[in-house]
């Protein structure tokens, strides 16, 4: 196993077990928790940029109006995604969050067709149709849309779409996104503290360290993924990405005993079959190319 594969597996495992980390902070309101994630992630990213002597390059890269417009949209989408995810985890919906990230690759392909006029290979329509069938089945079984899964999938899918046209790499991009969000995050944290509802410095030292650590659990997997993407093929990245939602699902069912009903099994099962077919078709198409392209630009996964 080469270094790139190890980095990728490490990043995906980290994202897969992340619900456990947020559960340790279940007593902190989700909006405060996301504000701390933004705050400490920004500080961690800036520290890394300074440590690697890239600050001047970063300042030059983010100084144009177009860059700021693109990353303002990305910041809004990733903020919605993070808030929904953390709230859902601490409200006991880890299983449904995993469904969102199972659906996401298929939704991203659909967005490519709709917005970027990309063309699907004929056999790719089959898993897409199955995934839609699975979501519709869950909708009729529950009597309502699985809105948590769909919010996560749509927000992250749109985030990937914005990043497709974004000019910066993952490190500079996330630094700018958290920098854009840091002012409202700081204002909200100060407001919470002045009204007596703030958690930081009021709920114990372990909670304080965990809130600060939210920056590291955000940035370290990202940097591992960025390193992996430079070393391994896109097809391997695509296959390994399913480690994360699989682990999230197992964490929800095994560790936190979230219910998994017969109807859920059928709906999720349809989506899982779609993913297997989708991954197999993509791998077969990749193997059929005369020259396999390794590395390349990969959509950021956060």
- pLDDT per position as a tens digit, 203-240: 899 999 999 999 999 888 888 887 776 677 655 666 67
What is the overall mean pLDDT for the chain? 85
- pLDDT per position as a tens digit, 95-107: 999 888 888 877 8
Q: Structurally, how many domains does the chain consist of? A: 1
Percent of the chain predicted with pLDDT > 70: 91
Q: Looking at the domain assignment, is residue 294 inside a domain?
A: no
Checking if the pLDDT of 295 tops 50, the result is no
Q: Looking at the domain assignment, is residue 293 inside a domain?
A: no
**Structure letter (DSSP) for residue 293:** P
Q: Looking at the domain assignment, is residue 295 inside a domain?
A: no
Q: Looking at the domain assignment, is residue 300 inside a domain?
A: no
Q: Looking at the domain assignment, is residue 114 inside a domain?
A: yes
What are the distances in angstroms from CA 264 to CA 46, 207, 245, 271? 42, 34, 15, 11
User: Computed from CA positions of residues 193, 198, 202, 208, in that sequence, does the dihedral angle turn out positive or negative?
Assistant: negative
pLDDT of residue 148: 92
Do 94 and 258 contact (CB within 8 A), yes or no? yes
How far is 83 from 199, CA to CA, in rounded Å? Answer: 17
Q: Can you give the residue range of the structural domain that contains 259?
A: 3-288
pLDDT of residue 5: 84
pLDDT of residue 229: 67
- pLDDT per position as a tens digit, 25-81: 999 999 999 999 999 999 999 999 999 999 999 999 998 999 999 999 999 999 999
pLDDT of residue 299: 40
Q: Looking at the domain assignment, is residue 45 inside a domain?
A: yes
Q: Looking at the domain assignment, is residue 51 inside a domain?
A: yes
Q: Looking at the domain assignment, is residue 153 inside a domain?
A: yes
Bridge partners (DSSP) of residue 155 are none
How far is 79 from 77, CA to CA, in rounded Å? Answer: 5
């Amino acid at each position: 196993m080469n270094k790139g594969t190890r980095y990728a597996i490490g990043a995906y495992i980290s994202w897969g077990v992340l619900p456990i980390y947020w559960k340790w902070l279940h007593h902190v309101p989700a909006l405060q928790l996301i504000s701390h994630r933004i705050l400490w992630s920004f500080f961690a990213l800036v520290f890394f940029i300074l440590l690697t002597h890239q600050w001047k390059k970063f300042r030059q890269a983010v100084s144009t109006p177009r860059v700021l417009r693109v990353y303002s949209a990305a910041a809004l989408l990733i903020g919605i995604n993070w808030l929904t995810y953390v709230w859902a985890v601490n409200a006991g919906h880890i299983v449904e969050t995993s469904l969102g990230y199972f659906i996401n690759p298929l939704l991203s392909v659909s967005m490519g067709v709709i917005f970027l006029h990309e063309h699907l290979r004929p056999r790719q329509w089959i898993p897409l149709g199955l995934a839609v069938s699975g979501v519709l089945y869950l909708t009729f079984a529950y009597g309502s849309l699985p809105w948590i899964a769909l919010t996560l999938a749509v927000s992250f899918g749109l985030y990937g779409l914005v990043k497709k046209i974004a000019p910066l790499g993952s490190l500079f991009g996330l630094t700018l996104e958290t920098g854009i969000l840091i002012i409202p995050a700081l204002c909200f944290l100060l407001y919470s503290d002045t009204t007596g509802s703030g958690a930081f410095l009021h709920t114990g030292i372990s909670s304080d360290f965990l809130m600060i650590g939210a920056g590291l659990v955000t940035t370290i997997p990202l940097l591992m993924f960025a390193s992996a993407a430079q070393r391994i093929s896109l097809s391997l990245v695509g296959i390994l990405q399913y480690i994360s939602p699989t682990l999230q699902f197992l964490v929800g069912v095994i560790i936190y005993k979230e219910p998994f009903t017969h109807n859920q099994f059928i709906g999720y099962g349809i989506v899982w079959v779609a993913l297997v077919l989708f991954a197999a078709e993509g791998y077969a198409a990749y193997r059929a190319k005369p020259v396999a392209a390794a590395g390349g630009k990969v959509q950021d996964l956060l």
